[in-house]
Amino acid sequence: MDDLRIAPLVGIVGCLAVLLALAAPYVLVEDVAGVGLYYGSGAINPLLAGLFAAVALIALAAGREGRSDPALSAGVALVLGAVIAVIAVAWALTVRVDVVAIDTAHRWIVAGASVFVPAGSAWFARALGLL
């Protein structure tokens, strides 16, 4: 198994999963204005985690393809992945689910998807011999 190719791919898929999970309410809910209230009702807005997921996605892809220093990319993605996971879990624990008509499991899907980013990044860093 080629850990230097698969490990960042796990992080990339995690980033895409976070972005898709955060975009899902805008497609599934009729009242789009309620989605902003839903995301703003927690301790911290999870769209910030989406922003960090987009940056981590670029860092992991660049490190995987050798366009950036893989060690630097793994380190940046690991830090961003940890922040993404903390933001997602903090939001999932504090969000008001009665604000918008969406399945209450959505918050846990976002939190679960966020774990793949630091996991893939840590695996990538370990494959590079950094951890």
From residue 78, how far is each of 5, 87, 120 by CA, in Å?
A: 16, 14, 8
Q: What is the mean pLDDT of residues 3-19?
A: 96
pLDDT classification of 32: cutoffs 50, 70, 90:
confident
Give the model confidence (pLDDT) of 47-92 as tens digits: 999 999 999 999 999 999 999 999 999 999 999 999 999 999 999 9
The residue among 12, 40, 11, 24 whose CA lies nearest residue 99 is 40
pLDDT, averaged across the chain: 94
Given a contact cutoff of 8 angstroms between Cβ atoms, the answer to whether 113 and 18 are in contact is yes
The confidence score (pLDDT) of residue 122 equals 97
Q: What does pTM read for this prediction?
A: 0.94
